[in-house]
Amino acid sequence: MSSAEKTNGMDTLETLPQHVAIIMDGNGRWAKQKGKPRAFGHKAGVENVRSAIKTCLELGIDCLTVFAFSTENWNRPKKEVGILMDLFLTSLTKEVDELHKNGVRIRFIGDRSAFSKKLQKQINDSEQLTQSNSKLAFNIAANYGGRWDIVNAVRNIYQRIEKGEISVDKFDVELLNSEIALSDLPEPDLFIRTGGEHRISNFLLWQLAYTELYFTDVFWPDFDKANFMEALNSFSTRQRRFGHTGEQIEKKQTTS
C-alpha cells in the first residue's frame, strides 16, 4: 500500500488544518508534458479546483485559499493572460450555483479593478450570492500579491490616521493585521505548493508567518485527493511551536 492509500482514511490524521492555502502551480508544464498547449493545462487546472473543494467539504476543513493569478502574471504573453481571464469568467459562471448549493462562501482577494467589467460583475455577484454560506470559506487570490496586500493595508490605515480616526501610536501588528486580506479568518495552518518550485511567489506574505509549508512535485492538474491527504498527513505530524520550546508544547498538550 502506498503512503497515500494508508492516509486515505481520516483515522490517521491527528490534527486537521482549519485553513489550507494552495499555490496551484504546474499547469503549463503538465500540458507541455502531454504535447498540448498551455491553455489545455489551465483548463485542467481550473477543473481540479473542484476536487480540492470537495476534499475540504468532506473532511470539514473550514477555509481554502487558492492562488489563481498573481500581480506578476500580467507579465505573461497577452494571449495566455486573455485565455486565463476567459477561463475565470466561464468557470465562475458555471460553478457558482453548485458551490452555493454546497454551502461554499466565495470571496476574491486582490485588486479586482484591473479585470473586465463583466468579470468584476461576476465576481461581485458570486460573493453576494454566497455571502451567508458557512460550510467552507473559499477564497480566490486573483490579481493578488502579498506585497500589494501589505501596501493596501498600510494605505488604508494611513487614510484613517489622516482623517484623525486613529493616532500613529496605535499603529501596531494587530491594527495592520486588521486591514490585511482574510484577517477575519484563522491564519493558514497549511500551505501547499504543487509543481515542484520551492518558493512563495508573492502569495500571502503576511498571513504565512507561522504556516506549515508543504511542497510537492505533482503538477496541479494531477493533484488529487490522495495527494491532498499526503499533505494533510505531513501536517498532522508537525509540532507547531510558535516560538516556544518543544517541551512547553508537550506540557501544554498533556495538561489540556
Of 17 and 28, which has the nearer Cβ to ligand IPE?
Answer: 28
Residue nearer to ligand IPE on the CB measure, 56 or 192 = 192
> 106-128 as b/e, with b when 16 or more CB fall inside 10 Å?
bbbbbeeeebeeebeebbeebee
**Per the residue annotation, which of 25, 27, 189, 227 is the catalytic one?**
25
DSSP state of 238: P
201 binds, among Mg ion, ligand IPE, none (CB under 5 to 8 A by kind): ligand IPE
Residue 25 touching Mg ion (CB under 5 A): yes
Binders in 52-81 for ligand IPE, by CB under 6 A:
67-70, 73
CA angle 81, 83, 87 (to 5 degrees): 115
Which of 100/112 has CB closer to ligand IPE? 112
From ligand IPE, Mg ion, none, interface partner of 130 (C-beta below 5 to 8 A by class):
none
Cβ at position 206, least distance to ligand IPE in Å: 17
Residue with the CB atom nearest ligand IPE in the bound state: 28
| Residues 181 to 220 in contact with ligand IPE, rule: CB under 6 A | 195, 197, 199, 201
Specify which residues 74 forms β-bridges with: none
Q: Is 125 a catalytic residue?
A: no
Element (H, E) at 64: strand 63-70
Q: What is the DSSP string of 1-25?
A: --HHHHTTSGGG-S---SEEEEE--
Whole-angstrom CA distances from 169 to 53, 152, 183 are 42, 19, 21
Total residues in contact with Mg ion, by rule CB under 5 A: 1
**At residue 65, what is the residue type?**
T
Determine the interface stretch with Mg ion among 20-28, 31-39, 98-106, 214-222 (rule: CB under 5 A). 20-28
Which of ligand IPE, Mg ion, none has residue 236 at its interface (CB below 5 to 8 Å by kind)?
none
Report, in Å, the least distance between residue 29 CB and Mg ion: 8
The grid cell for 192 is 501547499
Secondary structure element (H or E) that encloses residue 93, with its range: helix 78-101
Q: Which of Mg ion, ligand IPE, none does residue 120 bind to, with CB < 5 to 8 Å depending on kind? A: none
Q: What is the residue whose three cell numbers read 506578476?
A: 72
Of 8, 62, 73, 156, which residue is the catalytic one? 73
Count CB atoms within 10 A of the CB of residue 140.
21
Residue 156 bears catalytic tag: no
The minimum distance between CB 77 and ligand IPE, in angstroms, equals: 11
Q: How far apart are CA 176 and CA 170, in angstroms?
A: 10
Instruction: Return the one option of ligand IPE, Mg ion, none that residue 61 interacts with (CB less than 5 to 8 A, by type).
Output: none
Which residues are at the interface with Mg ion (CB under 5 A)?
Answer: 25
Question: Could you give the residue numbers annotated as active site?
Answer: 25, 73
